Amino acid sequence: MILEIVQYGHPVLRERCKPVETVDDDLRKLAADMLETMYDANGVGLAAPQIGVALRLAVIDVAHDPECITFLKVGGEDAPLDSIMPLIFINPELEFTGPKEKDTEGCLSIRDVRADVSRPGSLKAKLPQLDGTVLEIETDGLLARALQHETDHLNGILFIDRVAPATKISLRRKLKRLAADE
């Protein structure tokens, strides 16, 4: 089922989400609906607060562009990107390992706004899965960026919070209009 994506100005986007304590059929259904919603919106990631649920749950799929990363290790071993996509995870833990890199980001919850964001270029992540296992990965590129972006959502942080001060000023009027529309 395609869910409504909440937009900039909605208070849930600024909440620090609660950890997922129990995985049940309702949570599995929510994750499946989030994937369907993300695909329908042509996104590469979606976090639970973006559909109005303040839980530490997110989905990512960057398999459409296998060149978007230069390496992926799963459990310390090289792995193809499609072996872990789509990625559904709860309660993520990230450790940044690379120098910062600037790239353009957008967000399904902030219509028509794109801006350059500087983030660590690579990371290690512990991503608990719905089946109780923990996926341990090391990666870079779009997957590393998407993991950081979606984990930020789980902490009430939006990509516009991470842009340069001059960019924030240039976006101020547009963001005010978006917040007023919510």
How far does Cα 14 stand from its chain's mean position? Answer: 14
Residue from 95, 105, 150, 182 carrying the catalytic annotation: 150
pLDDT tier, 182 (very low <50, low <70, confident <90, very high otherwise) = low
pLDDT of residue 98: 84
The two tokens of residue 3 are 């869910």
Query: Is 105 part of the annotated catalytic residue set?
Result: no
Residue 17 is assigned to a ligand binding site = no
Q: Which of 92, 143, 104 is nearest to 121 (CA)?
A: 143
The string of pLDDT tens digits covering residues 49-93 is 999 999 999 999 999 988 899 999 999 999 999 999 999 999 999
Q: Model confidence over 146-177: pLDDT tens digits?
A: 999 999 999 999 999 999 999 989 998 989 88
CA distance 152 to 74: 22
| Single pTM value for the model | 0.96
> Is there a binding annotation on residue 64?
no
10 is annotated as contributing to ligand binding: no
- The encoded tokens of residue 10 equal 């909605």
**Separation CA 122–CA 109 (nearest Å):** 25
Q: What is the token pair recorded at 37?
A: 């919603």
Q: 178 near 7, Cβ under 8 Å?
A: yes
Distance, CA of 148 to CA of 104 (rounded, Å): 14
Domain boundaries 11-181, CATH class:
alpha beta
- Where are any strands of DSSP class E within 61-162? 72-74, 77-78, 87-90, 93-96, 100-107, 110-120, 122-128, 134-140
